Chains A and B, each alone.
Chain A
């Protein structure tokens, strides 16, 4: 399946003239059991794409909510290998919802690019997003992922200018993730009016690939505003916070409200 599963889901959303809702959670937060329950509930709650974080000891681009989630996951013994096992168990009952892994390079490097690509594809992962691997350093990883049909999702930022953008989206597949504000996750959010022109610019440079927008989107209202222009809306820190404070059911309830807001945004 792999990148084809992402393409199919974005095609479906486009046919329905709506943005996709991307839900982020951290593998193993607060433990493998609850993490699996949340994963299984998310597609029913309306998540179009699942972004599953794998923990890293030094999450340099994360704000406090995902830093804490990373720490909880590590304390629960989560590794990249156990994250793949979580995906395997999720895939046993769910074939349609695309899932990408998101995290930092060193665990993947330590696992080995080739072994990771083969194991991730076998587990049912569809793509990978690596925060600290810019396009200049990404060719080896892309070469390993390609034969397995896994997308290497590229990131564009407000600091990425027109001259640099083509290099950023070269070899992009699945979708492009637009980091809508300069900052760490879960703190500031972008003004909705700045998002639309950025999304158009990136989509054009990436040959029409969908553009997902994330960073700082916490409420259904914010999600609906971004969903006017973006092909996908990513919510992470808000869900992670709810999970930590109120548990799996509350996080699923919040995901459902966000999904509804995204679905109805253009009506």
Chain B
């Protein structure tokens, strides 16, 4: 896809926080002044070289950036072998954000926001978490800066992400299990917003994905865009050219927008992979763009899983980090405008890709990037020999080993099982 010369994809959102018709600031009046204050504070910080220098220093020496760009040779060979006769396969590269401190991309954003919270004089941090990766990253930066931290986590997720719950407690965070709704990420986000609206004087809400009221989608994207900036420079250095495609899994969409954003003006295909759960026709999935329609939730207008009455439906994914019925508004806009493509992978496909990656590359991925791994073979074959595809390895799989073990035990007839 050749971007038009006058392309300004990366200039969005507009002053009202809009990406086309998506985004905005749909919050209760009590929160509106806080959201506006945050917008001002973030714009000032963004333009302050001292803030950026402080952030860069922590990203280098605390987070461990830049993360490597790794050529996944055996996975590439595997998919080339699976190719159509006479076809071929692009080289598959992993952007190794699972090597960050705390094991996922989430800390890029947490480090940025905690420095902003300090700059704003906030003394108490709250956050929501699904898989627990954002909760761990938030608890980590709160420990580093000595700030009290309350993490809202759906009761279902507390149960299925025990290792991360333990890690958060070790880091000194208070975990509040949320039992309203189905006890997953959206319910945790509701409860975090209720805390925020109650504690407006001292509390900073550290949202973990590129969604919510403006400026969160833009701010989280900016903090995650370090992924794409590094990947772009690394590809130019290693391959002497830009990649042909970038691939990332999508829950709220922060790892994907972080990878995609620095490539928006380039002739590079951008492909997000949503979680299809038990399958798109099963009604049990988390593919808000593929299987939902536009609406308003959690402060922004975007694609949502909802019924005919506008009630939000429960999402399902084996990956707690993708188990959310919405999507960041910039993705909604990139989808409608055709600049990015979105596909899906089921629980079963992700499980198979999870094992395949572990066996072929010696990297145990989180279940979130396992969804991207499930589609990367077909994408690499579409791009073809001589091309390059960058996949965002946005988290490591240590936290998921019990979930995966349970899933494999419960599906003895699953083809993936035979590979063990």
Interface on A for B, CB 8 Å cutoff? Answer: 55-61, 63, 67, 74, 79-81, 104-111, 131-134, 136-137, 155-161, 164, 168, 179, 182-184, 187-188
Contacts and interface: CB of A to CB of B under 8 A. Distances in A.
Contacts of B26: 105, 132-134, 137
B295 A110 contact: yes
Given A57-B181, A80-B309, A137-B24, A179 B33 contact: no
Nearest to A161: B33
A184 B26 CA distance: 16
13 contacts: A55-B311, A58-B186, A60-B298, A61-B197, A80-B310, A105-B296, A106-B304, A110-B306, A134-B25, A137-B26, A158-B30, A159-B200, A182-B199
A61 B297 contact: no
B25 A60 contact: no
- Residue from B181, B194, B299 whose CB has the most chain A CB atoms within 10 Å: B194
B310 A111 contact: yes
A59 B197 CA distance: 13
A106 B16 contact: no
A191 to B, nearest CB: 16
- The CB with the most chain B CB atoms within 10 A, among A59, A74, A159, is that of A159
Interface string B300-325: 00001010111111000000000000
Contacts of A161: 33
B264 interface: no
A132 B25 CA distance: 9
A108 B30 CA distance: 21
Contacts of A136: 16, 24-25, 32
A74 B311 contact: yes
A165 to B, nearest CB: 10
A132 B181 contact: no
B28 A131 contact: yes
Contacts of B304: 106
Interface residues of B, number: 37
Contacts of A134: 25-29, 32
B77 to A, nearest CB: 46
A58 B190 contact: yes
A134 B33 CA distance: 10
B407 interface: no
Given A60-B194, A106-B296, A184-B197, A160 B29 contact: yes
A137 B25 contact: yes
Chain B at the A interface: SS class: mixed
A15 B117 CA distance: 50
A183 B32 CA distance: 13
Nearest to A163: B33
Contacts of A107: 309-311
A132 B299 contact: yes
B180 interface: yes
A210 to B, nearest CB: 17
A179 B181 contact: no
Contacts of B187: 58
Nearest to B200: A182
A168 to B, nearest CB: 7
B143 to A, nearest CB: 28
B198 interface: yes
A159 B29 CA distance: 8
A60 B190 contact: yes
B80 interface: no
A64 to B, nearest CB: 8
Nearest to B33: A159
B309 A110 contact: yes
A104 B298 CA distance: 11
Nearest to A167: B32
Given A58-B181, A164-B33, A109 B310 contact: yes
A143 to B, nearest CB: 16
B38 interface: no
B207 interface: no
Given A61-B193, A134-B25, A136-B32, 8 more contacts: A106-B296, A106-B304, A110-B308, A159-B32, A159-B200, A164-B33, A182-B197, A188-B198
A109 B16 contact: no
Contacts of B24: 136-137
Contacts of A133: 26
Contacts of A137: 24-26
A161 to B, nearest CB: 7
A79 B180 CA distance: 20
A160 B37 CA distance: 12
A156 B27 CA distance: 13
Interface in B1-34: 16, 24-34
B193 to A, nearest CB: 5
Nearest to A158: B30
B194 A184 contact: yes
Most chain B CB within a 10 A radius of its CB, from A55, A161, A183: A183
Contacts of A60: 28, 190, 193-194, 197, 298
A61 B32 CA distance: 13
Contact of B310 (A106, A183, A188): A106
A179 to B, nearest CB: 6
Interface in B166-219: 180-181, 186-187, 190, 193-194, 197-200
Q: Considering the complex of A and B, which 3 residue pairs feature the smallest CB-CB distances, nearest first?
A: A110-B310, A107-B310, A157-B30
Nearest to A80: B309
Contacts of B299: 132
A57 B197 contact: no
A252 to B, nearest CB: 29
Interface string B56-89: 0000000000000000000000000000000000
